[in-house]
Amino acid sequence: MCEKCKEKFYITTPIYYPSAKLHIGHTYCTVATDAMARYKRLQGYDVMFLTGTDEHGQKIEDKAKDAGVTPQQFVDNIVEGPGGVLDLWKLMNISYDRFIRTTDDYHVAAIQKIFKKMYDNGDIYKGTYKGKYCKPCESFWTESQLVDGKCPDCGREVQDAEEEAYFFRLSKYAGRVQDLLENTDFLEPRSRVNEMVNNFIKPGLEDLCVSRTSFTWGVPVDFDPGHVVYVWIDALFNYMTALGFQNDKYQDLDKFWPADVHFVGKEIVRFHSIIWPAMLMSLNLPLPKKVYGHGWLLLDGGKMSKSKGNVVDPYILAERFGVDALRFFLLRSFPFGSDGNFSNELLINTINVDLANDLGNLVSRTVAMAQKYFGEHLPAQQAADEEKDAELVTMASSLRGKYEAEMEKYAFQNALAEVFKVISRANKYIDENAPWVLAKSEENKPRLARVLYNLLETVRICGGLLTPFMPDTAGEIARRLGGARMDWDSLGTFGVLDPQVAVVAGPALFPRIDVEKELAALEEMSKPPVPELEIEPYSDEKVDFDTFCKSDFRAVKVKDCKPVKKSDKLLCFTLDDGTGTDRQILSGIAKYYKPEELIGKTLVAITNLPPRKMMGRDSNGMLLSAVHTEKGEEKLNLIMISDTIPAGAKLC
Ligand code: ME8
Distance of CA 289 to the CA centre of its chain: 28
For residue range 163-184, list pLDDT tens digits in order: 899 999 999 999 999 999 999 9
55 in contact with ligand 1, CB cutoff 6 A: no
Q: Report the 10 Å Cβ neighbour count for 12.
A: 27
**Closest Cα to atom 9 of ligand 1:** 25
Ligand 1 mutation pick, 29, 300, 307, max ligand atoms within 8 A of CB: 29
Can you tell me whether residue 158 is helix, strand or coil?
A: coil
Query: Percentage of residues in the chain with pLDDT exceeding 70?
Result: 98
How far apart CA 628 and CA 637 sit, in angstroms, is 9
What's the DSSP call for residue 220? Answer: B
With a 6 Å cutoff on the Cβ, whether 29 touches ligand 1 is yes
Q: How far is the CA of 402 from the centre of ligand 1 (A)?
A: 30
Whole-angstrom distance, CA of residue 186 vs CA of residue 582:
92
CA dist., res. 332 & res. 335, Å (int) = 8
Decide whether any atom of ligand 1 lies within 6 Å of the 28 Cβ: yes
Q: Give yes or no for residue 50 CB within 6 A of ligand 1.
A: no
* pTM reported for the whole predicted model: 0.81
Q: Is it the case that residue 319 has pLDDT exceeding 80?
A: yes
DSSP letters for 410-424: T-HHHHHHHHHHHHH
Report the atom number in ligand 1 closest to the C-alpha of 18: 22
How sure is the predictor about 385, in pLDDT bands with cuts at 50, 70 and 90?
very high
Q: How many CB atoms lie within 10 A of CB 258?
A: 15
- Sequence-distant (6+) residues with CB within 8 A of 512 are 352, 356, 357
Atom of ligand 1 nearest to the CA of 267: 24
CB 422 less than 6 A from any atom of ligand 1: no
The residue whose CA is least distant from atom 5 of ligand 1 is 296
Q: Summarize the confidence of residues 261-269 as an average pLDDT.
A: 97
Three-state DSSP class for 391? helix
CA 652/CA 648 separation, integer angstroms: 12
309-313, 623-627, 639-643: range with lowest mean pLDDT = 309-313
| Whether the CB of 18 sits within 6 Å of ligand 1 | no
The angle, 0 to 180 degrees and rounded to 10, between the axes of the packed helices 445-465 and 361-374 is 150
Predicted local confidence at residue 310, as pLDDT: 58
Whether 26 lines ligand 1, by a CB cut-off of 6 Å, is yes
Asked if residue 552 has its Cβ within 6 Å of ligand 1, the reply is no
Residue-level pLDDT at 146: 87
User: Which pLDDT score is estimated for 311?
Assistant: 60
User: 414 C-alpha to center of ligand 1: Å?
Assistant: 24
From residue 21, how far is each of 53, 300, 307, 415, 441 by CA, in Å? Answer: 12, 21, 12, 31, 61
Distances in whole angstroms, Cα of residue 425 to Cα of each of 32, 93, 422, 610: 27, 30, 5, 85
Which segment of 96-100, 127-131, 494-498, 619-623 scores lowest on mean pLDDT?
127-131
Q: How high is the pLDDT of residue 5?
A: 60
Pocket flag, ligand 1, residue 267 (CB < 6 Å)? yes
Q: Are 235 and 102 in contact (CB under 8 A)?
A: yes
Q: Write the residue with the smallest CA distance to atom 30 of ligand 1.
A: 16
Ligand 1 atom closest to the Cα of residue 263 is 27
Q: What's the mean pLDDT in 370-379?
A: 94
288 Cβ below 6 A of ligand 1: no
- Angle value at C-alpha 499, between 493 and 500, nearest 5 degrees: 150
Query: Can you spell out the DSSP letters for 512-537?
Result: PP-HHHHHHHHHHHHSPPPPSEE-PP
23 CA closest ligand 1 atom index: 12
340 C-alpha to center of ligand 1: Å?
15
**Number of the ligand 1 atom closest to the C-alpha atom of 265:** 24
The C-alpha angle with vertex 181 and arms to 176 and 186, in degrees rounded to 5, equals 110
Contacts of 158 (CB under 8 A, 6+ apart): 132, 133, 134, 141, 146, 149, 150, 151
Nearest-atom index, ligand 1, CA of 303: 11
**Centroid of chain to Cα 262:** 19
CA 466 to chain centre: 22
Q: How big is the chain by its Cα radius of gyration, in Å?
A: 35
> For residues 84 and 22, what is the distance between their CA atoms, to the nearest angstrom?
8
Lowest-confidence segment of 71-75, 128-132, 260-264, 462-466 by average pLDDT: 128-132
Q: How far is CA 471 from CA 86, 94, 98, 475, in A?
A: 19, 10, 19, 6
Out of 12, 26, 30, mutate this one to test ligand 1's pocket (max ligand atoms within 8 Å of CB): namely 26
Alpha-carbon span 245 to 595, nearest angstrom: 81
Give tens-digit pLDDT for 397-410.
999 999 999 999 99
- 606 phi/psi in degrees, rounded to 5: -95, 125
Work out whether strand 208-209 and strand 297-299 pair parallel, antiparallel, or are unpaired: unpaired
Closest CA to 364 of 459, 486, 487, 491: 459
pLDDT at 300: 77
DSSP 8-state code for residue 198: I
Question: What amino acid is encoded at 490 in this protein?
Answer: S
Mean pLDDT value of segment 76-83: 95
- Name residues whose C-beta falls within 8 Å of residue 375's C-beta, 6 or more positions apart in sequence: none
> In this structure, which amino acid lies at residue 196?
M
Q: 313 or 228, which is more confident?
A: 228
> Whole-angstrom Cα distance, residue 65 to residue 195?
37
Q: How sure is the predictor about 3, in pLDDT bands with cuts at 50, 70 and 90?
A: low
Q: What is the mean pLDDT of residues 548-571?
A: 94
pLDDT tens profile 282-298: 999 999 999 999 999 99
Q: What is the pLDDT of residue 461?
A: 98
User: Which of 268, 273, 291 to probe ligand 1 with, by most ligand atoms within 8 A of CB?
Assistant: 268
Q: How far apart are CA 346 and CA 518, in angstroms?
A: 12
Pocket perturbation via mutation, ligand 1, pick of 16, 261, 329 by most ligand atoms within 8 A of CB:
16
Residue 70 DSSP symbol: -
Residue % of the chain over a pLDDT of 90: 83
Q: Is the CB of 14 under 6 A from ligand 1?
A: yes
Please report which confidence band the pLDDT of residue 620 belongs to, taking 50, 70 and 90 as the band edges. very high
pLDDT of residue 214: 80
Ligand 1 atom 10: residue of nearest CA: 25
State which amino acid sits at residue 58. Answer: Q
Q: Evaluate if residue 548 carries a pLDDT over 70.
A: yes
Give the DSSP letter of residue 69.
S
Q: Please give the distance, rounded to the nearest whole angstrom, from the Cα atom of residue 213 to the centre of ligand 1.
A: 26
Q: What does the alpha-carbon distance between residue 383 and residue 499 come to, in Å, rounded to a whole number? A: 12
Decide whether any atom of ligand 1 lies within 6 Å of the 272 Cβ: no
| SS3 state of residue 219 | coil
Q: Tell me how many degrees the CA angle 238-240-244 measures, rounded to the nearest 5.
A: 110
236 lines ligand 1 (CB under 6 A): yes
Q: What confidence tens digit (pLDDT) does each residue in 407-423 have?
A: 999 999 999 999 999 99
